[in-house]
Structure 1
Amino acid sequence: MRVTGKPVKHSRTVQTRLVLPPDTNHLNTIFGGKVLAYIDEMAALSAMKHAGGVVVTASIDSVHFRSSAKVGDLLTLESFVTYTGKTSMEVYVKVEVEHVATGERTLTTESFLTMVAVNANGEPRSVEPVLPESEDEIRLFESARVRRLQRNS
């Protein structure tokens, strides 16, 4: 039996951003809200690629800021769909900071978001299943059911 759907790589999105002075607080580190906005945008881009249309954010799981980024650092954001329901998609977003002078890269933030595909009237519409291929993709796919139960409890 052939399983239909879209591979995870179809939704993978990578973006690099420069941390500029207006993005930072009085300590010259990036505002957490700015990072959250980037995360939400990345999740939407990946979900739109998977769904082939408009999506809305249904939830953002807990976000942990593990390290900071300062003016002049590079932020690399990577996102992809890890799991699908009937109309919803779980999207994983990872943010890393690169210190340009040293080339050192550090994980700053990880998050899972739930996005819902909607039609022109804003009503939920169905999405194709996601097909994990790599070991990491399969691990995230299989652990998604636990995260989904935690979200709904």
Structure 2
Amino acid sequence: MNTKKPQESLVIMNEFVMPNDTNMMHNLMGGRLLYWMDIAAAMSAQKHSNRLVVTASVDNVSFQQSIKLGDAVTIEAKVTRAFNKSMEVRLDVWTSNIPSGTRVKSNEAYYTFVAVDQEGKPVPVPEITPETADEQTIFDAALRRRQLRLILSGRMQPNDATELKALFMAAKHEA
């Protein structure tokens, strides 16, 4: 199976925050943002795998900056690492007030998708070949994030998480 570059899976999605997207404080509702993020991430995973995909997990989504009524939201999604049948997608969310010209990072998250065939059975996906130092750093850390997800879901025992243990052991030796 061929390898692909992270840039090949890049999706940039834009939305305006309309009144029906907001809460009583005129801020974008978190659930609406998660919905948009899931769409962008799924498109990225589909671009990478050329397959139907299903959401397997959503990591911690940190809300760093509120998004206001009338703001433009830009979601950038890109596959960071592919495992056998799953892909990790990083999302960066930016909020812009177009009249004032401001642009601020609002959120980031990692979603995991599984590629499936027409019957819904998981299928292999192409590997990722990072091109930049930043992509390599995110790629390397993806294995630790994956192990943490597997531990939290009960599908891996903590003692089997070799990458996580190595990270904590290195921190212990540095202290």
Q: TM-score, normalised by structure 1?
A: 0.96
- Matched letter for residue 10 of structure 1: E
Distance between the aligned counterparts of 2:134 and 2:40, measured in 1? 19
Distance between the aligned counterparts of 2:2 and 2:14, measured in 1? 32
Q: Return the offset for 1:119.
A: 0.3
- Residue 88 of structure 2 is matched in structure 1 by 90
Aligned to 1:101, the other structure's residue is in SS state: coil
- Residue 132 of structure 1 is matched in structure 2 by 130
RMSD: 1.1
Distance between the aligned counterparts of 1:117 and 1:21, measured in 2? 35
* Cα-to-partner distance string for 1:53-72 (whole Å, 9 max, x where unaligned): 10000000011111111111
Distance between the aligned counterparts of 1:59 and 1:16, measured in 2? 23
Query: When you count strand as a share of all residues, which structure comes out higher?
Result: 1
Within-5 A mapping of 1:1-153: 4-153=2-151
* Cα-to-partner distance string for 1:80-131 (whole Å, 9 max, x where unaligned): 0000111000000110101122211111110001100000110000001011
Q: Which runs of 5+ in 1 are unaligned?
A: none
Distance between the aligned counterparts of 1:83 and 1:39, measured in 2? 18
Tell which structure's C-alpha radius of gyration is larger. 2
Distance between the aligned counterparts of 1:63 and 1:19, measured in 2? 19
Q: TM-score, normalised by structure 2?
A: 0.84
Q: Which runs of 5+ in 2 are unaligned?
A: 152-175
Q: Matched residues, percent identical?
A: 38
Aligned length: 151
Distance between the aligned counterparts of 1:143 and 1:104, measured in 2? 31
Distance between the aligned counterparts of 2:2 and 2:135, measured in 1? 17
Distance between the aligned counterparts of 1:4 and 1:33, measured in 2? 36
- Matched letter for residue 114 of structure 2: V
Aligned to 1:105, the other structure's residue is in SS state: strand
